[in-house]
């Protein structure tokens, strides 16, 4: 067993839903050897807390209001390569899990199942293993297998992390103004991402982009 489990483990939660954070912190703090040392709702706040608190593990939501969780994950992996990160997501689509794991996450868990799985996930990650639900493991495996026969137009791998967020929100039916508010971006920036996505998928009209995004949104939510 990892020696950190015997010494007591400090954990930071990064999520912009206060009630969810409180519930998770309460659950973790019930464990005698685990303690939530900080809770942050922005990437900037989390980065400062990581440097100050030096947690043993970070639980990070993949979708933060002011930034992309994977961007913060990449920064953590670069600056603190030995700090394990357990990613949270509302979406179980294998593309997100694959991106998170490639970016340096040591585990991936769906928020819908976080309360029942988080303690075992923490212990598994701290023991040196990669944690993912069986469903996620199967989906990631199937995606890697199917990657042998790539279809560029149907692959979201060509999108940046931010473009992927915009694309997902378009598929959820949000307008540019709503997307801008959700991601704390200007409408002009959202428009630029939208045009880049159209260009990458060789789509001529916005209606084509919407149809394509809705199609993928259905897959993401399955």
CATH number (domain holding residue 180): 1.10.10.10
| 1 or 110, higher pLDDT | 110
CATH number (domain holding residue 54): 3.40.50.2300
Residues 90 and 173 in one domain: no
- pLDDT for res 221: 54
- Cα separation, 201 vs 67, whole angstroms: 24
Q: How confident is the model at residue 55 (pLDDT cuts 50, 70, 90)?
A: very high
Q: Point out the domain boundary residue: 143, 170, 194.
A: 143
Q: Does the pLDDT at position 2 exceed 50?
A: no
Q: Does the pLDDT at position 140 exceed 90?
A: no
Residues 15 and 123 in one domain: yes
Q: Point out the domain boundary residue: 112, 143, 174.
A: 143
Max avg pLDDT among 97-106, 132-141, 172-181, 190-199: 190-199
Residues 130 and 167 in one domain: no
Residues 156 and 139 in one domain: no
Residues 176 and 89 in one domain: no
The helix (run of H) or strand (run of E) holding residue 141 is helix 134-146
Residues 38 and 122 in one domain: yes
Residues 133 and 163 in one domain: no
**Contact of 28 with 73, CB cutoff 8 Å:** no
Residues 130 and 180 in one domain: no
Q: Does the pLDDT at position 194 exceed 90?
A: yes
Residues 164 and 132 in one domain: no
Instruction: Give me the domain span that covers residue 89.
Output: 3-143
Q: How many domains, the chain?
A: 2
Owner of token pair 């912190």? 25
* Average per-residue pLDDT for the chain: 85
Q: Point out the domain boundary residue: 143, 163, 197.
A: 143
* 213 closest CA partner among 172, 177, 162: 172
Strands in 9-14's sheet, in edge-to-edge order, are 34-40, 9-14, 57-61, 85-89, 107-110, 131-132
């Amino acid at each position: 067993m990892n020696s950190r489990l015997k010494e007591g483990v400090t954990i930071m939660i990064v999520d912009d839903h206060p009630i969810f954070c409180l519930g998770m912190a309460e659950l973790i703090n019930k464990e005698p050897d685990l303690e939530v040392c900080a809770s942050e709702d922005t990437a900037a706040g989390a980065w400062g807390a990581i440097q100050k608190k030096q947690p043993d593990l970070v639980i990070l939501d993949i979708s933060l209001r002011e930034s992309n969780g994977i961007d913060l994950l990449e920064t953590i992996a670069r600056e603190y390569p030995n700090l394990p990160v357990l990613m949270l997501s509302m979406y179980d689509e294998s593309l997100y899990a694959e991106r998170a794991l490639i970016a340096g996450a040591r585990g991936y868990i769906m928020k819908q199942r976080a309360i029942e799985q988080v303690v075992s996930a923490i212990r598994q990650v701290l023991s040196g293993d990669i944690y993912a639900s069986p469903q996620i493991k199967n989906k990631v495996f199937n995606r890697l297998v199917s990657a042998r026969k790539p279809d560029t137009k149907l692959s979201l791998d060509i999108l940046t992390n931010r473009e992927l967020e915009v694309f997902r929100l378009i598929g959820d039916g949000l307008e540019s103004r709503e997307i801008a508010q959700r991601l704390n971006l200007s409408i002009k920036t959202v428009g630029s991402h939208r045009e880049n996505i159209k260009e990458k998928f060789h789509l001529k009209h916005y209606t084509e982009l919407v149809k394509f995004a809705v199609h993928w949104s259905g897959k993401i939510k399955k």
